Chains A and B, each alone.
Chain A
């Protein structure tokens, strides 16, 4: 894998790191656009699978970028993608953190929270829609999305892994007995 690809991985992901308000979910739509539609590095199918793996394994959701990097350019790709997704936003948090803890309770804190949290919430839904479109071949995945969401609201203590295994099991059963 050549250096150009690694540089491209970095220049795609690093700006998204700075824009990832509301967490990893905000970057699924732009990531799909860049790595599936424009670069054709991975298929839509692989994109969805890597998302599933990133959620089934420990670690923050943004490790998804690490997996994309790995799929595209091996270990070097994984390292470059990780640096690209974590370094820029971390530098911002570090820089702001200095000022933030010294000026706690100030009006601009509250303004940032009130202003940026709805933005993050909207972007989270953009991620959900992007992924749901990729997953929705047929009725079953849509039903799983709805039921898991409802169960999760109703019983927040259920371990995430139980949902993941049940979802996978249901779809396997549908495949095996169809």
Chain B
């Protein structure tokens, strides 16, 4: 990537620190897009977009994966390290503070019951994310089969995740290969 101007690491840190601080429940990749492409013009739309698919496809959370991709394009490995550290630093401290407070709240009557309700609401939102992720798979019989099989293997039969991935990952990509298309060459 030839950069017309080098983005300072401190700017990368500042930008991703703020994104991390206000990151609640998804939608972060579009926020990163807005901040780095639209507002700061650090990179072009064409440079950013492949990162969205990459962040989604690779293991790990898509928002932190996207931060690594953007950091890498801007400033190589140092940029990637800066972006992910920045994005996690505020949530790290805030979450630990919350976990610390949690321990001292445990003895309050009704607190445990309340936490179940909070968890249930969070599970409901997760389920909605699942519904969104499942929708595009329903058009394709082999994608649907892989989705159901991976759910049954890990969620119902409780097979260990790593061997399941080692078997299902290559199998699923092989099944998808005949249907895969090359987009217009860049």
Question: A interface vs B, CB < 8 Å?
Answer: 15-27, 29-30, 33, 45, 48-63, 66-67, 70-71, 75, 78, 82, 86, 88-90, 92-94, 96-98, 100-101, 104-132, 134-135, 137, 140-142, 144-149, 152-153, 159-161, 163-172, 174-176
Contacts and interface: CB of A to CB of B under 8 A. Distances in A.
23 contacts: A56-B122, A58-B94, A59-B23, A59-B91, A59-B95, A60-B63, A60-B64, A67-B95, A70-B99, A92-B58, A94-B80, A97-B72, A105-B183, A109-B50, A116-B57, A116-B172, A117-B56, A119-B165, A124-B126, A132-B123, A163-B124, A164-B121, A171-B118
Interface string B18-58: 00111111001000000000000000000100110111111
A105 B95 contact: no
Interface of chain A, main secondary structure:
helix
B29 to A, nearest CB: 11
B54 A97 contact: yes
A53 B59 contact: no
B107 to A, nearest CB: 14
Contacts of B28: 60
A49 to B, nearest CB: 5
Contacts of B148: 122
Nearest to B61: A60
Contacts of B136: 117
B175 to A, nearest CB: 7
B155 A125 contact: yes
A13 B4 CA distance: 40
A120 B120 CA distance: 22
B125 interface: yes
Contacts of B176: 110-111, 114-115
Nearest to A160: B25
A119 B117 CA distance: 29
A137 B94 CA distance: 29
A88 B61 CA distance: 12
B128 A153 contact: yes
Interface string B163-186: 011001100111111011111111
Interface in B70-117: 72-73, 77, 80, 84, 88, 90-92, 94-96, 98-99, 102, 109-110, 112-117
A107 to B, nearest CB: 4
B168 A119 contact: yes
B64 A55 contact: no
Contacts of B90: 58-59
A114 B136 CA distance: 10
A163 B118 CA distance: 8
B48 to A, nearest CB: 10
Contact of A125 (B120, B130, B186): B130
Given A19-B161, A110-B183, A164-B122, A60 B23 contact: yes
